[in-house]
Amino acid sequence: MKSIKDSLNFAEAIMDTVREPLIVLNPDLCVISANRSFYKIFHSNKTDTENKYIYKLGNGQWDNPKLRHLLENILPSKSFFQDFEIEHKFPQIGTRVVLLNARKVFQKNSNGPMILLAIEDITEKKQLDRQKDDFIAIASHELKTPVTSIKLYTQILQKHPLITSDERASDMLTKMDTQMNRLMELVASFMNVYKLQTGKLRLRRTTFSLDELISEVVGNFQYTITSHSVIFTCDKKVKIFADNARINQVLVNLISNAIKYSPDAKKVIVSLKAETRKVTVTIQDFGMGIPKEEQDKIYERFFRAKGKKEGKIPGLGLGLFISSEIIKQLNGELWVKSTEGKGSTFYFTLPRGKQTKMLN
């Protein structure tokens, strides 16, 4: 008996220590207990909470259609759910965005599992994210015009007789132009992120030859990069109906990464495979690879691996976010298989719709 009491005290102490609001429900969705944080944040107390039906708590403030769907439709068939986001107007604390995490706890001699529900208020974080996005959007928009004109003037200057006759000046202007290109790419990345997040990225689909596009992109790398040879293998000529410029962007990003993250390797292999319903493009490198625990995170905005080697390689952590969103919008998939220290292979697929033809 004493040990049961000790366990209960222990469980209660854990619940009260957790900073997030936490409630435990019985199988009929009545509250068994809640923690201190729950009472504090939702202006409630034990008497008004325990043994009450969750939807009746605080004048029905938890009666939210999404939460109902979650507890009544999703949870019965799963043992847990994670990071389910809902926006809800609470009478006392106003509209909040909360993340819900739930887990079923099975116990002997009970008529069903208890439900542990954790509620994380992410309203401020969301607002900060929005402010950051707005800032990036405005800054990149304002930067675009001056950067484009500086680029134009650089190009005009490069042709000026005073410059063409002076090797050192000409060399400096070429370097300036290269840096200008990097700056323009950065501005374009920021603008792309904003457009993707606000659903404003317009896709322009046409029918084009994917193998030709890949050959062209690979050819450009061969022309400008001396550190690696980029090899392209393709089993068929394939026409697809998609956005040529955006796929170009994805290819450039994945091949640049393959080169960037394999400084000690000599080659990158690009391949294209066509099946009846889809095409698969792979970009394989023999570089540093990606640790298993980071492989899911690399598609997040601003994510960069924490390894020592990666730290020295420049980047913003936007390329894979942009690429995976573009492929998603084109109804394809993008993923990676990677072994640390051995290399990575990025895959992306694109559907072959009605307008997509196999040429041979």
Interface contacts to ligand ADP, rule CB under 6 A: 253, 257-258, 261, 285, 287-290, 298, 303-305, 310, 315-321, 344
Is residue 230 a contact partner of residue 255, using CB atoms and an 8 Å limit?
yes
CB 324, min distance to ligand ADP, A? 9
CB 281, min distance to ligand ADP, A? 14
CB 320, min distance to ligand ADP, A? 3
By C-beta, is 84 or 303 nearer to ligand ADP? 303
Alpha-helical segments (H) within 198-243: 210-224
By C-beta, is 21 or 287 nearer to ligand ADP? 287
- The alpha carbon dihedral of 285, 291, 295, 298 has a sign of negative
Tokens of 163: 């410059």
Alpha-helical segments (H) within 198-296: 210-224, 244-260
By C-beta, is 151 or 304 nearer to ligand ADP? 304
How many C-beta atoms surround the C-beta of residue 253 within 10 A? Answer: 20
By C-beta, is 98 or 288 nearer to ligand ADP? 288
By C-beta, is 49 or 253 nearer to ligand ADP? 253
CB 185, min distance to ligand ADP, A? 10
84: CB partners within 8 A, 6+ apart: 66, 70, 99, 100, 101, 102
CB 346, min distance to ligand ADP, A? 7
DSSP string, 113-130: -EEEEEEEE-HHHHHHHH
Q: Give the nearest residue (CB) to ligand ADP.
A: 315
108/103 Cα distance (integer angstroms): 16
